[in-house]
Amino acid sequence: MANMAQAIRMALHFGEENLDVTDIFGQDVGAPLGGVFTATQGLKNTWNTPLDERGIVSTAIGLGLAGERCVAEIQFCDYIFNTIDLLKYAGNLNWSCNGNYNLPITLMTPVGAGIRGSVYHSHSFDAWATKIPGWKIVMPSTPLDAYGLMLSAIEDPNPVMFLKPKALLRVKGEELIPGEPDTEKALKAAIDAPLGDRSKWSPNWPKVKDFRIEIGKAKILEEGDDLTIVSYGRPLPLCQKIAKEHEASIEVIDLRSLYPYDWNTLYKSIYKTKRVLFVNEETEVTNFAEHLSYRVVNSDLFYRIDSPPRVLAGKNVPGIGLHPNLEEASVPYENEILKEVNDVLQVVP
C-alpha cells in the first residue's frame, strides 16, 4: 500500500497526464530532491524555486490568472505566514472582480507536529486557513483520501489549500489507490527515486486511475452511539484507536474538508450520540473547532445534547518545543484525548 507521500505523487502524476497541470513548484520540489517529503519526486512538470514563499504564491496566482492549473508548495506551513496577504488576495480575487477571473490553483503545505520538528516545523495552519474566505481547505488523513482530494483540488476552479499532515505522510494506507501495484515492493521500485545519483533515474508510473473525494464531504471511520469525535490530520488515527479500544460506543468522523465542511454528517452523528468532542492540534484560542462547537450550540442540537461540546486542541503557546515532554504537553496525544473522551462521557445531563 502506498503511503501518503506516494499517493500525492501519483495524484500529481495523474494531474499532469489528465488534468492539465502545467507547473508543480516550490522550494526543493523539483529534481533531484522531489520535495522534502518526496511527494513530488519524478514528476515531469516540477521545478525548483528561489527560497521565496511570496514568489511561490505570487507565481501560482499569476498562472491561475492565465488560466493554467498548477500545484505550488510551501515547504512547511510554518513559513507560509509571510504570504498571508497574498492568500487573502487569492481568496478574494473572484469576489472582488465580480467573477471576471478565477484561480484554479492548488497550494499544498505540510502541517502539524509529530516529527519532532520543534518551533518552526510543527505549526498548524487549519484555523488560519479557514479564516481566509474564498479558499477551499482540505486535509486528508489517509493515502487514498489524499489521492482523491488532490484530484478534486486540481480540478476545482477555486483556490484550494491542501494541508498535508506531516506526521502521516509516511504512514501506509489500508486501501489500494486505483491502479496502484499490488505490493509495496513493486510500488517502491516503480516510483521511489534511488539514493545517491538520480540523474539517470526516471519513474515507471503505474496506470493509476481517476478517483475523486468530493470536497465538502466527511467520512465516518467508526460508527458508534455514545459519543462523536470529529477530527482530522495527525490526531485522527489516535482518536480512531481509542474508539476501537474503548468500552463505550464511539463514532469517529474524519472531517477531510474544513471549508466547505460537511455539517449534514456532523449533525446526524451528534443528533444520534448526543455528545461531541472535536480534536485537532491547532492552538486552542479561536480554533476552527470553536466555530463547529458554536454551530452545535446554536442549532436545535443544543436542546438534545447531554454534554457541552468539547474542543481538545493545541495549547495556546507560541510554539511546539523540541523535547518530547514539551511537544506532548502542547498538542493532543493519546492519553490526553482519552482523558477528554472519558470526561465527556461522564457528564451527567
Partner 1 sequence: MSRLSSNTSKKPAFSASGASSKVKDKKHDPEDFQGLDKTLLLKMFNIMIQSRALEERLIKIYKTGEAFFWIGGPGEEAFGVPLGLLSKIGQGPEFDYFHLHYRATPTVLALGVDPIHAIRLIMNKKADVCTGGRNFSNHYCFPEKNITPISSPIEIQYGLSLGTARAQKRANTKASGKNKNSKYQNSISIVTGGDAGTAEGDFASCLVWATRPGDELPILITVQNNTWGISTSYSEQHGEDKISDRGLAFKMKCLNINGNDPVESYVKLKESMDYIRKEQKPVLLEASVSRLYGHSSASGANQQEGLACPIKDFKARLIKAGLITESESVEIKKSYEDEFYKMFKQVQKEEGPSADSIWENTFVNSENADWRSF
Binding site for partner 1 (CB under 8 A): 22-23, 49-50, 52, 54-55, 57-68, 85-86, 89, 93-102, 133-134, 136, 157-158, 216, 259-264, 291, 295
How many angstroms separate the CA atoms of 302 and 188, rounded? 50
Residue 230, amino acid = V
Sign of CA dihedral 74, 79, 82, 88: positive
Q: What is the 3-state secondary structure (H, E, C) of 233-297?
A: CCHHHHHHHHHHHCCCCEEEEECCEEECCCHHHHHHHHHHHCCEEEEEEEECCCCHHHHHHHHHH
CB of 227 to partner 1, least distance (A): 23
Q: How far is the CB of 247 from partner 1 (least distance, A)?
A: 34
Q: Is the dihedral of CA 332, 141, 28, 84 positive or negative?
A: negative
Plot region of 42 (φ>0 → left; ψ -120 to 50 → alpha; else → beta): left
Is residue 53 part of the annotated active site? The answer reads: yes
- Least distance from C-beta 57 to partner 1, angstroms? 8
Q: Which of 13, 16, 73, 121 is catalytic?
A: 121
**Catalytic residue among 16, 53, 73, 251, which?**
53
Gap between the Cα atoms of 304 and 271, Å rounded: 7
Decide whether 49 or 118 has the Cβ nearer to partner 1: 49
Give the shortest CB-257-to-partner 1 separation in angstroms.
10
Q: Give the whole-angstrom CA distance, residue 186 versus residue 25.
A: 27
How far apart are alpha carbons 308 and 275 in whole angstroms?
Answer: 7
Cell of 185: 515492493
C-beta of 23 vs 226, nearer to partner 1: 23
> Is 18 or 58 the residue whose CB approaches partner 1 more closely?
58
Q: Please answer whether residues 315 and 283 qualify as being in contact, where contact means their C-beta atoms are separated by less than 8 angstroms.
A: yes
| Pick 66 or 297: Cβ nearer partner 1 | 66
Torsion, CA 169, CA 173, CA 175, CA 179, rounded to 10: 50
Tell me how far, at minimum, the Cβ of 30 lies from partner 1, in Å.
11
**Between residues 97 and 119, which has the closer beta carbon with respect to partner 1?**
97
Residues tagged active-site: 53, 121
